A and B are shown apart, each in its own frame.
Chain A
Amino acid sequence: MYMFKYIMKRLGLMLMTFLIIMIMCFVLIKLLPIVINVSIGQDADIIKAQIEARGYYDPIPVQFVNYIKRIFQGDFGIGVNMPEYRNQPVLDVFLEKLPPTILINIYSVLISVPVGLGLGILAALKKNKWQDHTISTAVMIVISVPSYVYAFLIQYLFCFELGWFPLTMNSGYDYFSPSMFLSMLPAVFSLSFGSIAGYARFTRAELTEVLTSEFMLLARTKGLTRSQATVRHALRNAMVPIFPMIIGEFISVLSGSLVIEKIFAIPGVGKLYLDSINTQDYDFFMMLSGFYTFVGLAAGIVIDISYGIIDPRIRMGAK
């Protein structure tokens, strides 16, 4: 019951926060001066008339009300200023571009979580031995180098020299075909390296600390084997901070990677949000702001709740 109340309260707060953020986004983007680009010899009257006819000169509250009405009619608007999406419905563009981004990031998570955790656990269990030193050194190297460097290396070595994968992602919408999967792998690997290193380092640090806790000594003195104590007690405790990190990773799954998508020609959402701000494409900006804000807020609640699942001692909302 405590939990239900807590969730409802959080949902209510989330809705309120969402509305405030959306209003702020709308007002702030509309406060920016309207950019009117008129080339030499062009009739500025027509350009200004077009902007006026779109209602961009109306008072901001009036524009906001109109925008809300449109949203409830299911109309998220069309692209206006972004060169790649002019006159295209923003929702359609976003939905068309979301699958490749999600798939590549999910594949990356599916690879990096087990590998990262595995390496972290191994390093923790073999602390200060050659395995730990090797893993830690590799992790430091990988973390220090930006992901686009791996991307170029992977592309050059595996795609160009060895020819194991295509240089760019295949075109088309058959996202689950073997050839499409193969064409996604270079990007997946490029994204995975950093994550694997991150998980490994974090897991090693957490697990190392837990393994030296007094309750671990107690567990061993109670007669548990080392592996029993590690799996049942140490790992579970160590996962309390690690698990939210994994869930947090899923949020970034939806936002894509600007650089990786560019290198492997992935038609994803990586640069949509940034471009919408740079070009003041209002409808794109508002829809993306709404989407990412909602996902971010919802993920916050899910992460909080997840603490209770990982560690039963944690009860949200309990007094």
Chain B
Amino acid sequence: MNKPLKKMMTLLIIVAMVFTTVFSLVACKKDEQQGLDGHKHTWSEWTTEYDNSYKCSGGVSHRTCSICGTTQTKDVKPSHIKGDDGKCIYCGVVVYYTNSTYTAVSPSNWNELTYQDNNDTQIFYNLISSFFEFDYKFDEEGEIIPGAFEVEYSAATKLEDVTAQYADKYGYADGATGYAWKITLRNDLKWNDGTAIKAEDFVYTMKEQLNPLFRNYRADSFYNSGTVIHNAQGYAKQGLKVDETVSNLFSGIAEAKKAGYTDIYLDMNAVNAAFAEWFGGTYAQVKGAGMLDQYFTMYDENGQSLGQNFFAKYDLEKVSDKVEEQQILVTDEMIADYGKCKDWNPDPDVEVAMLSVIKNYVYPEVSFDDVGIFVGNNEYELVLCLDKAIPLLKEDGSLSYMAAYQLSSLPLVKKDLYEACKQAPVQGSTLWTSNYNSSVETTASWGPYMLTSFQSGKEYVLEKNPYWYGYTANLYEGQYQTDRIVCETIGEWETAWLKFQKGEIDGITIDVTIANDYKGSDQAYFTPTDFVSSFQLQSSEEALKNRESAGVNKTILTYTEFRKALSLGIDRAEFANSCTTSSLAGFGLYNSMHYYDVENGGAYRETDAAKQVLCNVYGIDVSKFASLDDAVDSITGYDLAQARELVNTAYDKAIADGKMKEGDKVVLVWGTAVDNESTRRTYEFVKNAWTNLMVGTKLEGKFELNFDASFGDNWANDFRSGAYDVCAGGWTGAAWDPGYFLLAYLSPDYMYSTAWDTSAQQMTFTMPVKQEDGTYKDTELTMSLMDWYNCLNGIAGSAYDWSANAVDQDTRLPLIAALEEQVLLAYYTLPMYNDYSASLISFKADYISYEYNTFMAYGGLRYMQYNYTDSQWAEFVSSQGGQLNYK
């Protein structure tokens, strides 16, 4: 070989090596971004081999990236490696893992189309798969990154935004995105009998989900939720006669009339629904807050007030006491009058349509061909056309958290079985029903487990579905160790507790009766929830006054100082310790489970703005501490000295204002739904705390807190209507949208302190306001709390739009914090503890992590790792004398 050729060959080899290296790295990066079911630098995607020291007793594993060749060594827990014959490839023992659990209420109807409660989901969550799902985020060492998450493809391999492709057919605007999605399914999806699953099966299922003959309980999941499939509502409700809001069907009154509808009425239900969206309250509440005049006063062409508001002229209340009969025919004059309400009528025809219904509207027939779900270009492509955009992909093309949150999957039934399970209407009924997924014979699975035994009210058994794609997918390598799930129905916790100690069930919640003995157990773990338990104080002065009698005062509760004193008079840590199993003292409306920026893992309570709120409310001078964190850590919410001063201040004010007489006794009623050990325990604690608070004050010996458990299930409404003075109540939900969650504390529809007029309470705050040139400028504004809320959530009709669609989350954060502070400073809601549930897990198995992850919890069955096979476990329990000590 001559020299130049040799040089050229050498150069080519070097170029090839560099290219190969670069390509591999790019491939790694690209795949990680797209989240394909291929390579990623996560523990589950490495090819793993165990060295000779690994003999079921722990050792070392070597893992190699299948693409870039990177190798790493890692210590591993002792565990058997199950071979194809079901025996450990090292020691030969039969490897079979059973997860024994229990439920208080037996499931009965795990049909995805009709299920109604969590009892049913405990079975069907194991029978289904996800297109996209959350997963832990692992670092390069294979360790879980706390609080982080990834969204991965599972039953789907590709997701594409095809909005532009269907823009003409479905009327999407030019440049719109997020409306039409093409999901490419794996080609190895199968039912547990081996039948292949294709896109048409999802289309068939959706047709059955929306089948108007069945009126399925879950039909509205695809038009009354975040996922609004085009025409799903029309198909599901065809033939149904209802008073339908005009704006749900047409863009305005004129269009509805053009379509031939003349029975159009201004309707109290529609008004209430529209007002809830606009103002966060019902018509009566908005009227009560004096907002009708503010927004609906009519003006003439010269801008002079006509001295009457729209709703005074068209007073729905005069028609009938019955809300359903509160309807007035919509006329052209009415629409014209609505147009006279300035500042509130960009298009009166459109807005009146929101307040009006077409009486006895019959939903017309709709062909399923017009519903926005169909098979794409091949049998594995499923296309969804939505009426509401969802950002399922991030800008870089990877899956956003919304993919796993809003569209993790679609319902799926096995066609032949479902058809066989259909049951025609019985005598006197027109409703078709189905017993699909209500017994072993009528159940099909396309998830990791399948139902093999079911005895109503007693026990069900799930075993591995041999046809589940996950068992051969790299994504799940080494996961789903559980071979069998046995769930017994045990209504009595004490019975379950004895069984747990006998090793017969593998997990149990720690009841408060055993909390002191078992909270410190190595097997105990604590699960946070988004529930903040609070005390609510009566806000209605009128209601308080009405229940006063000679020598008995209640209206002292209207003084902020007194309410603050009650707040500072409770040792929250002691309260949580005495009255709950494992909850921790809480100080704000939100706890660690509330995320203001889900995509970036932004926990609200961890932000400086949220921390500052707590310091402000509990009077902590941050400058005296080394850091804001130290300042927050110092908060106890318990300051008896200050509280006693506040009691005296409130007392003096009440005397001066003539609301109280010297010698009057303050008697408050602690209301609750039931009289049981738990409610009594809470009441006794609070009574003692507040009685102690009054010692040394002008109310010493003149304070009583009485227990009343007569309110039953209506306790919350009774409190709102002023029937009693103090209750324990809080909110859960919307943990990933704290801005929206404020509704619970500001809207008359939800708040406990209904007499606190959040439409009148003003707040001055600086927020960026959009200028004419499109830029934002920080502007100090003064608005009512309700108006701030409306702007924060971009409610129609609000002056500004700081919703998540309009501004970034960091811009919204300070406003959320400011509103939280306002609610806390009103002292109608006194946060007491952040809810944690405590549980014990048996020695048999371990979760992958005991650090709670909002998206993955503890990894569930997917990542559960067993320390004993079934036979080893039986031997172990026997060796312990048949009883296990978890203390």
Let me know if B242 and A45 touch, CB within 8 A. yes
Let me know if A46 and B429 touch, CB within 8 A. no
Size bin of chain B's contact surface: 35 or more
| B116 at interface, CB cutoff 8 A | yes
Let me know if B428 and A267 touch, CB within 8 A. no
List, in ascending order, chain A residues with CB within 8 A of B107's CB: 84
List, in ascending order, chain A residues with CB within 8 A of B224's CB: 41-43
Answer whether A54 and B431 are a contact pair too, CB < 8 Å, given A84-B457, A267-B455. yes
Let me know if A84 and B105 touch, CB within 8 A. yes
- Measured in the bound complex, the distance between the Cα atoms of B501 and A15 in whole Å is 53
| A247 at interface, CB cutoff 8 A | no
List, in ascending order, chain A residues with CB within 8 A of B492's CB: 262-263, 265
Chain B: CB-nearest residue to A161: B883
Per-residue contact bits, chain B 84-120, to A (CB 8 Å; 1 contact, 0 not):
0000000000000000000001111101001011011
- Identify which of A47, A70, A97, A156 contacts B428 (C-beta below 8 A): A70
List, in ascending order, chain B residues with CB within 8 A of A54's CB: 429, 431
CB distance from A146 to the nearest CB of B (A): 15
Let me know if A53 and B491 touch, CB within 8 A. no
List, in ascending order, chain B residues with CB within 8 A of A243's CB: none
Let me know if B495 and A46 touch, CB within 8 A. no
Per-residue contact bits, chain B 318-330, to A (CB 8 Å; 1 contact, 0 not):
0000000000000
List, in ascending order, chain B residues with CB within 8 A of A262's CB: 491-492
- Measured in the bound complex, the distance between the Cα atoms of B236 and A208 in whole Å is 74
- Measured in the bound complex, the distance between the Cα atoms of B490 and A210 in whole Å is 48
Let me know if A171 and B459 touch, CB within 8 A. yes
Let me know if B119 and A50 touch, CB within 8 A. no
Let me know if B504 and A167 touch, CB within 8 A. yes
Interface-side segment among B190-198, B213-221, B596-604: B213-221
List, in ascending order, chain B residues with CB within 8 A of A41's CB: 224-225
Let me know if A155 and B495 touch, CB within 8 A. yes
Chain A: CB-nearest residue to B240: A49
Interface-side segment among B433-441, B606-614, B646-654, B781-789: B433-441
CB distance from A168 to the nearest CB of B (A): 6
Chain B: CB-nearest residue to A69: B427
- Identify which of B106, B219, B494 contacts A46 (C-beta below 8 A): B219
- Measured in the bound complex, the distance between the Cα atoms of B498 and A299 in whole Å is 40
| B458 at interface, CB cutoff 8 A | yes
Chain B: CB-nearest residue to A42: B220
CB distance from B113 to the nearest CB of A (A): 11
Let me know if B488 and A171 touch, CB within 8 A. yes
CB distance from B514 to the nearest CB of A (A): 14
Per-residue contact bits, chain B 220-254, to A (CB 8 Å; 1 contact, 0 not):
10011100000001001100101000000000000
Let me know if B490 and A168 touch, CB within 8 A. yes
CB distance from A140 to the nearest CB of B (A): 27
- Measured in the bound complex, the distance between the Cα atoms of B433 and A54 in whole Å is 10
List, in ascending order, chain A residues with CB within 8 A of B108's CB: 79, 82-88
Chain A: CB-nearest residue to B224: A43
List, in ascending order, chain A residues with CB within 8 A of B117's CB: 83
| B499 at interface, CB cutoff 8 A | yes
Give the residues from 144 to 163 in chain A that come closer than 8 angstroms, CB to CB, to chain B.
Answer: 152, 155-156, 159-160, 163
List, in ascending order, chain A residues with CB within 8 A of B106's CB: 84
List, in ascending order, chain A residues with CB within 8 A of B494's CB: 152, 263
Per-residue contact bits, chain B 851-887, to A (CB 8 Å; 1 contact, 0 not):
0000000000000000000000000000000110000
Answer whether A84 and B429 are a contact pair too, CB < 8 Å, given A43-B220, A173-B455, A267-B458. no
CB distance from A52 to the nearest CB of B (A): 9
| B70 at interface, CB cutoff 8 A | no
Candidate in A55, A83, A93 with the most chain B CB atoms within 10 angstroms: A83
Chain A: CB-nearest residue to B219: A46
List, in ascending order, chain B residues with CB within 8 A of A42's CB: 220, 224
CB distance from A270 to the nearest CB of B (A): 10
List, in ascending order, chain B residues with CB within 8 A of A88's CB: 108-109, 435, 438, 456
Task: Report the interface size for chain A: residues with CB under 8 A from the other chain.
Answer: 51
| B430 at interface, CB cutoff 8 A | yes
Let me know if B427 and A66 touch, CB within 8 A. yes
- Measured in the bound complex, the distance between the Cα atoms of B215 and A87 in whole Å is 14
| A77 at interface, CB cutoff 8 A | yes
List, in ascending order, chain B residues with CB within 8 A of A46's CB: 215-217, 219-220, 236-237
Let me know if A73 and B495 touch, CB within 8 A. no
| A67 at interface, CB cutoff 8 A | yes
Let me know if B428 and A87 touch, CB within 8 A. no
Query: Chain B binding site: helix, strand, loop or mixed by DSSP?
Result: loop
Answer whether A265 and B458 are a contact pair too, CB < 8 Å, given A84-B106, A160-B502, A163-B882. yes
Let me know if B495 and A264 touch, CB within 8 A. yes
Let me know if B429 and A53 touch, CB within 8 A. yes
| B550 at interface, CB cutoff 8 A | no
Answer whether A83 and B488 are a contact pair too, CB < 8 Å, given A41-B225, A54-B431, A265-B495. no
Answer whether A53 and B489 are a contact pair too, CB < 8 Å, given A83-B108, A85-B456. no
List, in ascending order, chain B residues with CB within 8 A of A50's CB: 215, 217, 431
CB distance from B108 to the nearest CB of A (A): 5
| B1 at interface, CB cutoff 8 A | no
| B426 at interface, CB cutoff 8 A | yes
Let me know if A87 and B438 touch, CB within 8 A. yes
List, in ascending order, chain B residues with CB within 8 A of A159's CB: 498
List, in ascending order, chain A residues with CB within 8 A of B237's CB: 45-46, 49
- Measured in the bound complex, the distance between the Cα atoms of B426 and A55 in whole Å is 10
Chain B: CB-nearest residue to A72: B427
- Identify which of A63, A78, A171, A172 contacts B433 (C-beta below 8 A): A78
CB distance from B264 to the nearest CB of A (A): 18
Chain B: CB-nearest residue to A271: B491
- Measured in the bound complex, the distance between the Cα atoms of B431 and A55 in whole Å is 9
List, in ascending order, chain B residues with CB within 8 A of A63's CB: 428
| A75 at interface, CB cutoff 8 A | yes
List, in ascending order, chain B residues with CB within 8 A of A66's CB: 427-429
Per-residue contact bits, chain A 119-157, to B (CB 8 Å; 1 contact, 0 not):
000000000000000000000000000000000100110
Give the residues from 243 to 260 in chain A that come closer than 8 angstroms, CB to CB, to chain B.
Answer: none
Let me know if A49 and B215 touch, CB within 8 A. yes
Give the residues from 683 to 729 in chain B that come closer than 8 angstroms, CB to CB, to chain A.
Answer: none
Candidate in B109, B225, B883 with the most chain A CB atoms within 10 angstroms: B109
List, in ascending order, chain B residues with CB within 8 A of A168's CB: 488, 490, 495, 499
| A304 at interface, CB cutoff 8 A | no
- Measured in the bound complex, the distance between the Cα atoms of B429 and A67 in whole Å is 10
CB distance from B121 to the nearest CB of A (A): 12
Let me know if B457 and A58 touch, CB within 8 A. no
Per-residue contact bits, chain A 62-102, to B (CB 8 Å; 1 contact, 0 not):
11011101100101011100111111100001001100000
Answer whether A77 and B426 are a contact pair too, CB < 8 Å, given A46-B217, A50-B215. yes
- Measured in the bound complex, the distance between the Cα atoms of B459 and A97 in whole Å is 13
Let me know if A87 and B435 touch, CB within 8 A. yes
- Measured in the bound complex, the distance between the Cα atoms of B438 and A54 in whole Å is 20
Chain A: CB-nearest residue to B423: A78
Give the residues from 6 to 46 in chain A that come closer than 8 angstroms, CB to CB, to chain B.
Answer: 41-43, 45-46
- Measured in the bound complex, the distance between the Cα atoms of B422 and A87 in whole Å is 11
- Measured in the bound complex, the distance between the Cα atoms of B236 and A264 in whole Å is 44
List, in ascending order, chain A residues with CB within 8 A of B236's CB: 46
Let me know if B426 and A86 touch, CB within 8 A. no
Can you list 13 residue pairs at the A/B interface with Cβ under 8 Å? A54-B429, A63-B428, A67-B428, A75-B426, A78-B433, A83-B117, A86-B114, A87-B111, A88-B438, A160-B501, A167-B495, A168-B488, A173-B455
A-binding residues in B (CB < 8 A): 105-109, 111, 114, 116-117, 119-120, 215-217, 219-220, 223-225, 233, 236-237, 240, 242, 425-431, 433-435, 438, 455-459, 488-492, 494-495, 498-499, 501-502, 504, 882-883
Given A43-B224, A46-B236, A167-B499, 4 extra CB contacts under 8 A: A55-B428, A160-B501, A171-B458, A263-B492
B-binding residues in A (CB < 8 A): 41-43, 45-47, 49-50, 53-55, 58, 62-63, 65-67, 69-70, 73, 75, 77-79, 82-88, 93, 96-97, 152, 155-156, 159-160, 163, 167-169, 171-173, 262-265, 267
Q: Which 6 A-B pairs have the closest CB atoms?
A: A66-B428, A53-B431, A43-B220, A267-B458, A171-B459, A86-B109
